[in-house]
Structures are given as structure tokens and as C-alpha cells.
Amino acid sequence: MTTVACAPVDLVEVWRGDILESMHQGHAVICGADGQIVDAWGDAGAVIYPRSSCKMIQALPLIESGAADAHGLGTRQLALACASHQGARIHTDPVQDWLDTLGLQDADFRCGPQWPADVPARNAIIRAHAGPCQIHNNCSGKHAGFLTLNRHISGGADYELVDHPVQQMGRAAFQETTGEDSPGYGIDGCSAPNFATTVHGLARAMAAFASAHDRSDTRSHAMVRLREAMMLHPELVAGETRACTDLMRAMDGRAAIKTGAEGVFVAIVPEARVGVALKIADGTTRAAEAAIAAILVRLGVLDADHPAARARMVPDIRNWRGTLCGRIAPVTALAGR
């Protein structure tokens, strides 16, 4: 068995009153276009699952194979292929159109049914005394991409299995962009394999996306298209009130960012030609959001005073009556305060 090398460091504090109530530790790497570490906290060599943070890597074969162009996919579909959306109508309607174009149905997905996080969508299902479909799954855009690629390459049934050509193409792209042999894989929430790498490896892949406009190969062109699609449609990558959407809007095209389950976050910063990857060791989303916001401020692409930045980097903790009880805050070493 492989274990995480053990040196996470304090990254995000949770204060209530004058007492430090909880602490989140983790690992973070800022990587340059040459693949080398620019800055790091904790253990850059810690092995992690990127989870949904690597969806833009998983979408590379969709473009590189010619499948995206053969099916006329636009920037909206590419953004959805990289998304962990919350199942709002703005997400499920275009994914349904995409499915229709392929002549496929909800039952052709392999991501499983998931209640939408979007409150109006969830409430509509509850009021109809119904249940969610696979299209509501936060990964349904990624799976529409898998289905499109599979159609293009005639890959056969069971596209979600690790030995299927669709996933093997994803694995190759993953290993090539991270620059590492993956030490293994896990089954993700959406049933697709999720390949492990180090925090450094994941940051290296993001740096390749960030510097892709300096190169003219097929992969680099695909990388530019995916990162631009994410930044063009931040509302499709996650949804209203969500960190990826709010922070990408606040940065207005200066960075593409993506969350992953269990405390992962990545960023692609083209103007600085750096990639960022971080993992909160305990898997907590609130800490991953605070940490990525702090690093984006540090890199100069997010204004610390923007309301969206404050809401994620140093969020107030309020109780059921709205009383201010405490605050979450990145440690000084991360924020550079």
C-alpha cells in the first residue's frame, strides 16, 4: 500500500471568539512552466487523488482525438466537460441537448443519480415527489465528454471502466501532463477511475495548461481551448454561490480554477505561467477554498478586497440568527500577510 508522506503543515485556521477552534493542514505547490517548484508548503511529493480537480486533463483526449470538433462542441460543452456543476437548469439543459445530439439517453450515463446541489433544482424534484437522474450528477458534463469520445473512437461498452480505451486515453494524458507514472487509481464518486499523482505532479500539469499559449502542438492547443472555456463560462464550471464560479468571475479571465473532492483545489494562471495544486490533508472543502483564494491573492490575480475573495479567503462564521461567531483564515505563511 502507498501512503501519503507525512508532513502536512498548518494552512487554514478556524477561529471562534478568541480561541482557535479547528486547524486544517495540507500541502500546496506553485509550479513553473519548466515543471519546477516555485513555492511549496508541506510535502510536494505527497501522493493524492486529484478527484474532480483534474477534469480538464480528463477532457484533453476529447479534443486531441478530434471528437470535439467532429461533434461541433463549443466552449459551453467544453466548460461542462471540465465542470463539477450543481445540477441547475443552466447545467442540465445543455447537457441534455448534448445527449440528444448523440442520440443517447440518461440511462447511457455511468455517473449515477445525484441530488442537485442547486436549491431550485432540488426543490423542483422534491415538489414533484420524484428523484434525481444521472444528468443531475455533478460530473454529467464530463461523462457527456466521455460518451462523445467513445462514439468517436468506437470504444465499445462500459466507458467508465479503467481498461476501456476512453479511460486509458485519460490515463495517458494524465501521466504525460503530470510528468509522473501514476502509482494507482481509485474509483471516483462518478464511477470513473481517478489516477493518483503527487501534489507537485498535479501542479506541473496545471503549469502546462498555464503556459500552453507559448507552444503550438496539438496538446497545447487543446489546453488553451479548455482553460479559455472554463474562464469564459465560470457559471457552467460550478454554479451560483460556488467558489469556482465566484472566484473565476472575480478574476475575470486571469485564472482558471477547479475544486476536487476531499480538499483539493487547482489553479491555472496563464499570465504568470504557473500552475497551483493543493490538498487539505483532512479533505475539507472550506479549507481548500480559503487556501486557493490566498494563493491567488499572493499571485496577484485575485484582489483580496473583492467580496468574492473575502467570502472564500476569510469567511465570517455566522450562526442561525446571523450573529458573527468567528472567522476562517489562511495562516500567515500562506497569505503572506
List interacting residues with its own copies (CB under 8 A): 1-4, 8, 14, 16-25, 47-49, 110-114, 123, 126-127, 137, 183-191, 194, 196, 262-263, 280-284, 287, 319-323, 325-326
Min CB(23)–its own copies separation in Å: 6
Min CB(289)–its own copies separation in Å: 14
Min CB(1)–its own copies separation in Å: 5
Min CB(290)–its own copies separation in Å: 13
C-alpha cell at 74: 463549443
**Chain CA centroid to CA 277, Å:** 10
As a whole number of angstroms, the distance between CA 58 and CA 264 comes to 16
- 119-127 helix and 89-102 helix, angle to the nearest 10 degrees: 70
Nearer to its own copies, 305 or 321 (CB): 321
Amino acid at 223: M
Which one, of 295, 27, 57, lies nearest residue 194 by Cα?
A: 57
Nearer to its own copies, 251 or 335 (CB): 335
Q: Is 32 helix (H, G, I), strand (E, B) or coil?
A: strand
Min CB(312)–its own copies separation in Å: 17
**Chain CA centroid to CA 167, Å:** 18
Min CB(256)–its own copies separation in Å: 24
Virtual CA dihedral for 173, 174, 177, 182, nearest 10 degrees? -130
C-alpha cell at 192: 470513473
In the block, cell 485564472 appears at 255
SS (H, E, C) 104-169: CCHHHCCCCCCCCCCHHHHHHHHHCCCCCCHHHCCCHHHHHHHHHHHHHHCCCCCCCCCCCHHHHH
**What are 328's strand-pairing partners?**
14
Min CB(98)–its own copies separation in Å: 20
Nearer to its own copies, 52 or 211 (CB): 52
